[in-house]
């Protein structure tokens, strides 16, 4: 883009961020910032509180990484309520070539003086004695999500039992009716997922379906997985979470949720890790940074990560996986981290883990 064109686009975005005096103008400003991949302009359009107070930063960062050039924003059924409004946000964009996403979300808008800001999804509280449980404000979801309330402490206790890490008592859990709407509140580039957590953000999960026992087991598995991410992030401290490689994050999370997998599902996951160890193994260094890992390799990160955690727990003691994560969190140095759990180098740890899995 020529400098003059880039400058003009920047000026237009900056002025738009200050000019949204109607919800329709706000939709246009959000759309322009998203298409341009301008994270700063997008964040300037967000309300200082609301569901996007924390998550909006990550959403905006993804816009800068992979701008959705054809995204359209439209608000409809807007109902002004005091200093704000409720309505529906319709989003349409091409996530990857050939995959057009269409999502509608109930949302909140906030008016600051005469200027409108986007406050994120509209959520309904669900009664719970532990933490905060919220459901996307679509008909019936809050009532359907009520069965999750007693599962929150069960999942948290399992994480502490397995890893020795306490889950913060004030954890916020947000429930969505489907993976499409959940993922659209995280990153535009994210493929549909059933659970999500990032440091400083709420846990998000899709309400499980099926018979009651199956839905409960699925919910416990996702909650334990995401609670692990939350607990690891808190324990690792500011900045430390990002130094722990992604494959280790996912390995720890699946390891902590073991009790809520069926035996056949757990065995299938082990078989996949064993198969990767024999042929098709992706070097762990290439699975360390989530945004840089191609979707085609996500399964490797999950399976190989869990396999390495199982290897460490079995060969170096139950506390070894978390000690390795702690060592990464302190310095980010792979070799130093490996030495803290008894290996000469990270290459030696990876080599021995792969051999163990290939022989399992």
DSSP, res 280:
T
User: If you count them, how many residues does the chain have?
Assistant: 360
Q: Residue 176: which of 213, 124, 127 has the closest Cα?
A: 124
Q: How many CB atoms lie within 10 A of CB 344?
A: 11
Per residue in 248-287, pLDDT (tens digit) is 999 999 999 999 999 999 999 999 999 999 999 999 999 9
Backbone angles phi and psi of 137, in degrees to 5: -80, 70
Paired residues of 90 in beta bridges? 74, 104
Per residue in 166-215, pLDDT (tens digit) is 999 889 999 999 999 999 999 999 999 999 998 888 999 999 999 999 99
Q: What is the pLDDT of residue 308?
A: 98
Q: What is the percentage of the chain residues whose pLDDT exceeds 90?
A: 88
Q: What is the pLDDT of residue 18?
A: 56
DSSP, res 324:
H
Residue 14 pLDDT class (50, 70, 90 cuts): very low
Between CA 308 and CA 183 the distance in angstroms is 28
SS3 category, 26: helix
Between CA 337 and CA 348 the distance in angstroms is 12
Q: How many CB atoms lie within 10 A of CB 140?
A: 9
- pTM assigned to the model: 0.91
Per residue in 134-174, pLDDT (tens digit) is 999 999 999 999 999 999 999 999 999 999 999 998 899 99
Q: Residue 257: which of 297, 289, 229 has the closest Cα?
A: 229
Paired residues of 111 in beta bridges? 116
Between CA 288 and CA 214 the distance in angstroms is 32
């Amino acid at each position: 883009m020529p400098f003059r064109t880039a400058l003009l686009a920047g000026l237009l975005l900056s002025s738009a961020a200050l000019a949204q005096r109607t919800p329709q103008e706000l939709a246009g400003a959000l759309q322009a910032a998203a298409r341009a991949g301008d994270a700063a302009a997008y964040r300037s359009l967000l309300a200082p509180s609301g569901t996007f107070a924390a998550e909006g930063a990550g959403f905006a960062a993804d816009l800068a990484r992979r701008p959705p050039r054809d995204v359209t924003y439209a608000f409809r059924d807007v109902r002004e309520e005091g200093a704000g409004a409720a309505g529906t946000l319709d989003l349409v964009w091409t996530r990857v070539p050939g995959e057009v996403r269409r999502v509608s979300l109930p949302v909140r808008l906030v008016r600051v003086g005469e200027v409108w800001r986007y406050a994120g999804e509209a959520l309904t509280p669900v009664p719970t004695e532990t933490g905060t449980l919220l459901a996307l404000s679509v008909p019936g979801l809050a009532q359907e999500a009520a069965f999750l309330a007693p599962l929150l402490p069960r999942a948290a206790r399992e994480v502490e039992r397995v890893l020795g890490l306490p889950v913060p008592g004030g954890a916020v859990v947000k429930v969505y009716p489907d993976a499409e709407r959940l993922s659209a509140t995280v990153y535009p580039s994210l493929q549909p997922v059933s659970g999500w957590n990032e440091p400083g953000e709420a846990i998000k999960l899709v309400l499980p379906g099926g018979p009651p026992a199956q839905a409960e087991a699925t919910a416990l598995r996702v909650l334990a997985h995401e609670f692990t991410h939350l607990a690891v992030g808190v324990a690792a401290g500011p900045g430390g979470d990002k130094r722990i490689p992604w494959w280790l994050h996912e390995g720890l999370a699946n390891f902590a949720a073991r009790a809520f997998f069926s035996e056949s599902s757990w065995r299938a996951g082990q078989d996949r890790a064993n198969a990767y160890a024999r042929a098709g193994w992706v070097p762990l260094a290439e699975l360390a940074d989530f945004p840089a890992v191609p979707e085609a390799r996500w399964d490797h990160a999950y399976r190989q990560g869990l396999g390495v955690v199982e290897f460490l727990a079995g060969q170096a003691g139950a506390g070894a996986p978390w000690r390795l994560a702690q060592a990464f969190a302190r310095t980010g140095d792979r070799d130093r981290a490996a030495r803290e759990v008894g290996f000469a180098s990270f290459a030696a740890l990876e080599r021995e883990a792969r051999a163990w899995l290939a022989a399992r």
